[in-house]
Chains A and B, each alone.
Chain A
Amino acid sequence: MIETRGLRKSFRSRAGRETKTVEAVRGVDLDVPAGEIFGFLGPNGAGKTTTLRMLATLIEPDGGQATIAGADLLKDPGEVRRRIGYVAQGGSTWDESTGREELVLQARMYGIGKAEAHRRAARALEAFQLAEFADRKCKTYSGGQRRRVEIALGIIHEPKIVFLDEPTTGLDPQSRAHMWDEIRRLRADGMTVFITTHYLDEADALCDRIAIMDHGELVAEGTPTDLKREISGDVVQVGLDVTATGEAEKLLDGEEYVNRLELLDEGGLRLFVDEGATAIPRILRRIDAAGLDLKSIELHRPSLDDVFLTKTGRSLRES
């Protein structure tokens, strides 16, 4: 559905006398199959928006190429525009317009006739549960309502692909959950959804596949499960008295299923293993046989943050 090769973009910005070049996107290769929710995960400034703006024909790439829904981005941007929807990160509605007016205008800008534009607007307002505010000015909407109008604007012409740039940023938890449902509904309707996010849980829970972006480059790509499995394995945390910790370390350090071992200051051990489910019974048996007093045992699955940490050396939470 989307295929890009070597997509690049740099910006020149002037700070006083100096001109600095920011390489916002440095060669992105992507293959997004149809019918998926594809997530672009990365910290602020990673180049997510710039990539999306290139794919949505808003800025010209410095290099590389892309095919989107069968249309060539560079040779036929007009056709790309007809086939995609794009919802910008910073909003796109006008304070003084009503939701319905915006939807009708948007449909008309896609060349849809007046009567049909009104029908589609009414249908979209219904589907996004906006009917009751349809004729109120956008400035009176809550953040979540306004975001829903914007998503509805992005898909009013029934595109094959919709790009959503940080659709849930700034929303409260409830609106966020609501938005996830809307996005899943788009997929159920057969649309390919391309979202960007800097939320780990969102990438994990919502996306079928993700690409992790950092400093303008993709550092990893795959399903959330595969990406997590690919790294470090699981972590088993064993809670023990400080006095028993040294003995337990001696017991477990040599075990062939333990890849690495760390001591905890408050007593106990952290064991890095491939497969937590099989390691835990063996760990328990050793500790039991030695007569040590076990206080707790916990299994930690690696998170996408661990993936990010492994690939970039930084935690996404900190950046």
Chain B
Amino acid sequence: MKLARDTWLIFQRQLHLLLRNPVWVFVGVFQPVMYLLLFAPLLKPALGAPTQAEAYKIFVPGLLVLLAIFGGLFQGFGLIAELRAGVIERSRVTPVSRLALLLGRSLRDVVSLMTQAVIITLLALLFDLRVFIGDLLLAYLMLALIALMTSAVSYGVALKVKSEDALAPLMNTVAQPVLLLSGILLPLAFAPGWLQGVAKWNPFSWAVDGTRALFNGDIGNDRVWQGLTIIAILAAAGVYWAARQFARSVR
């Protein structure tokens, strides 16, 4: 099928370019490990968790969602560089699928995020985190969908604004409330009622709750399917919208 073939083509190219640049590979792994080693130890006393393993159960899913959101949201910068180099325009005069131009890139972002996620999970296992493999795979699906959505949206916005100067403040403005209102760093269970009420409108808050439930072995928790459904719908909408930008972008 043409879409699958074209997507694979673009994906391979993007992954190849990513791997060629060792700095990125290093940063991508180094950063989350630092969080895990330097930030997580504060949590056991802060959260009043009985053991370090309990603290990780709360913190690791939050960290992974955080990486998924940010990993995706800032991919647009790379696209603006490609836009400036004329690579996007060159692709757009060929009959290559416009959806593939987006999906190939976003899937690369998903794969690089999943690599980070696996490394972090393995490290956390060393610190006595325990999670069932089935639950873990569902949690990874959630993360993949989040990264797909945020990277697609970031690409779409990049094609619209076409400049780093406009993209940076925009993405920061979006990221900050999303981050604060999702209970990523600390669970919203600690939050006052009004804050919890506001956070209900943040889809990522549902995703974080769902992912935490999965890490807690609580697969039957409503937040799991609710979070997955909300994020899946948003990811589909994001991909659709961003692919349209690829089809019509001017210069």
Q: List residues of chain A with CB under 8 Å of any chain B CB.
A: 56-59, 78, 81-82, 84-86, 88, 90-97, 101, 105-106, 108-111, 153, 157
Contacts and interface: CB of A to CB of B under 8 A. Distances in A.
Contact of A108 (B9, B17, B87, B250): B9
B95 A58 contact: no
Given A92-B85, A96-B21, A82 B95 contact: yes
Contact of A58 (B6, B92, B96): B92
4 smallest beta-carbon distances between A and B, as pairs: A92-B86, A92-B90, A109-B94, A109-B96
Nearest to A89: B86
A57 B94 CA distance: 10
B91 interface: yes
B93 A84 contact: yes
Given A58-B89, A109-B6, 17 more contacts: A58-B92, A59-B250, A81-B93, A81-B95, A82-B95, A88-B86, A88-B89, A91-B85, A91-B86, A96-B21, A97-B17, A106-B94, A108-B9, A109-B9, A109-B95, A109-B96, A157-B94
15 contacts: A58-B89, A58-B93, A82-B95, A85-B93, A86-B93, A91-B85, A91-B86, A92-B86, A93-B85, A93-B87, A96-B20, A109-B9, A110-B96, A111-B2, A153-B90
Contacts of B6: 109
Contacts of A78: 95
B68 to A, nearest CB: 26
A92 B95 CA distance: 16
B7 to A, nearest CB: 12
B86 A110 contact: no
A195 to B, nearest CB: 16
B13 interface: yes
Counting chain A CB atoms within 10 Å of each CB, the highest count among B13, B90, B91, B92 belongs to: B90
Contacts of B17: 94, 96-97
A95 B84 CA distance: 11
A110 B95 contact: yes
Interface in B63-87: 82, 85-87
Given A93-B85, A109-B6, A88 B90 contact: yes
Contacts of B250: 58-59
Contact of B86 (A57, A82, A90): A90
A57 B89 CA distance: 10
Contact of B87 (A58, A92, A111, A157): A92
Nearest to B20: A96
Contacts of B86: 88, 90-93
B240 to A, nearest CB: 20
A134 B13 CA distance: 17
Contacts of A56: 93
